[in-house]
Structure 1
C-alpha cells in the first residue's frame, strides 16, 4: 500500500532534503520517524530536492507499507520528529502514484526584506540600503517564459540529462518592505531559483539591462549570470499533481 505525506520544514539546520553522508537531511529524519513507528526500515521518496538551508512550506513524499496505517499516524510522526518538521496529513494513494515523477508543477517563493528585521533573519535576504526597481525586474522575469534551456542559472557541477524547464509564471510583488518572487515550473535545476533572483536583482539595481538578461539566458553560461542569493530566503511553497 502506498501513502503520501504532506509536510513542511524549516531548512536552517539541514543539508537539504536528500540523504547525504555525514550530513543531516530532512529525508533522514522522516525515514527515521516512519521506521520507528512501523519497527522496520522504511524509506520515503520526496517530490523534489531542496538545497542546504532552503525551506518548504509544502512538501510531499510517499512510502510503502504492507498494512493499512493507524488513524493517529500524524500525531505519532509529529511526536517523534524535531520541531522544525511538521506533518499535516498522511493519505492512501494508488500504488503507482509517485511523489516525484507525477508532480506536474512546483512553485518556489523567494523573500527579500528591504531594511533590517531581526525576526525575519532566518527567512529572508535582508537588503539594508538598496531599493531595486520592481518594474524592471518584472519585465525581465517575463522573458523566462520565452525560453526552455536554463543552463546559465544551473549549478555548474550537476548530473542532469537536460537543462530544459517549462516555466509557467515568474513575477515579483512588493508588500511594504517585503519583496516576494514567485516562480512555477515543471522542474527546476540545482541552484536555479537563487541564481535567477540574483540576476534579476542586478536588473533592478541597473547593474545589467533587460536586454543583458536575455543575452545571459541565451549564453547558457553560469558565469554570466548574477550571484546565488542566500538559501534562507527560499521556500518551496506548492506542488501540484
Structure 2
C-alpha cells in the first residue's frame, strides 16, 4: 500500500533533502523515524530536492508498506521520533501508482528578504541593510520570466537533466514594510534556479543590471551570464500541488 507523507522543516541543520553519505539530510532523518516506528525498512521518495539550508513549509514524499496504517495515529507517533525542526503534518493513502515527484503538477517557492536587521529572522531571511532596491523594476523583470520556457541560464552547472524547460505561472515581488518576498510557481524547477533568479533580480533592483540586460541573460542560456545565487536560508518551498486522482478513493 502506498502512502503520501506531508512534511514541514527548517533546513538550517540539514544538507538538503536528499540522503547523502557524509552529511545529515531531511530524507535520512525521516526514513529513520518511519523505519523505527513501523519496524520495517522504509524507502521514501520525495517530490523534489531542496538544497542545504533551504526550508519547506510543505513537501510531500511517498512510501510503500505491506499493511494498512492508522493514518492519524502514525502521524502523531512518528513526530515523537523526529527532531523539533522536522514535522509530519499528515499521512494519507494514495493509489498504488501515485508518485510524489512525477505526479506533482506545480511547485511554489517564496524567497524572503528582510530590509534591515532583525536578530529573530537570521536563519529564515536574507537580510539586506546596505542596498536600496527598485522593487518596481524587479517586478518588471520578474514578469518577463512568464514569457520564457528555457531557463538554462539559472541552472546549476553540470546538472544531469534532460531538459531546461520549465513553465512558470507566477513570478512577483511583494513588499510590506521591511519584508520583501518573491513568489514563484512553476511545473518544475532546475537545481539552484530560484536562488539564481533572485540574485539576478536583486542586481536589477540595485541598478547593477537593467531590464534589457535581464532579457539578454535569458536569451544567453548561460549560467555565467546571470547573477549570483541568493543565500539558501531565505528560500522556502511553500506548496506542491497534485491532481485529486492520486487519492485511493477516487
Q: Same fold by TM (over 0.5)?
A: yes
**Matching residue of 1:191:** 192
SS at structure 1 position matched to 2:202: helix
The 1-side partners of 2:122 and 2:50 are apart by: 19
**Matching residue of 2:106:** 105
1:71-150 map, 5 Å = 71-150=72-151
Asked if 1:44 corresponds to 2:49, the answer is no
Residues 66-114 of structure 1: CA distance to partner in whole angstroms, max 9, x if unpaired? 1111341111110001110001111111111111100000000000000
Total equivalences in the alignment = 241
**Matching residue of 2:227:** 226
1:149-164 map, 5 Å = 149-164=150-165
Residues 149-208 of structure 1: CA distance to partner in whole angstroms, max 9, x if unpaired? 101001112111111111011000001101000000011011000000000000011111
Structure 1 residue ranges, 4+ long, deviating more than 4 angstroms after superposition = none
Asked if 1:56 corresponds to 2:72, the answer is no
- CA-based RMSD of the aligned residues comes to 0.7
SS at structure 2 position matched to 1:80: coil
- Structure 2, unmatched stretches of 5+, are 243-250
The 1-side partners of 2:81 and 2:132 are apart by: 44
The 1-side partners of 2:61 and 2:47 are apart by: 6
Residues 20-64 of structure 1: CA distance to partner in whole angstroms, max 9, x if unpaired? 111100000111011011111111111110001000001111111
The 2-side partners of 1:160 and 1:62 are apart by: 22
SS at structure 2 position matched to 1:236: strand
The 2-side partners of 1:47 and 1:131 are apart by: 36
**Matching residue of 2:67:** 67
The 2-side partners of 1:96 and 1:40 are apart by: 21
- Structure 1, unmatched stretches of 5+, are none
Q: CA deviation at 1:219?
A: 0.3
Q: CA deviation at 1:131?
A: 2.1
TM-score normalised by L of structure 2: 0.95
**Matching residue of 1:169:** 170
**Matching residue of 1:204:** 205
Asked if 1:20 corresponds to 2:20, the answer is yes
SS at structure 2 position matched to 1:232: helix
Residues 108-142 of structure 1: CA distance to partner in whole angstroms, max 9, x if unpaired? 00000000000000000000121211100000001
TM-score normalised by L of structure 1: 0.99
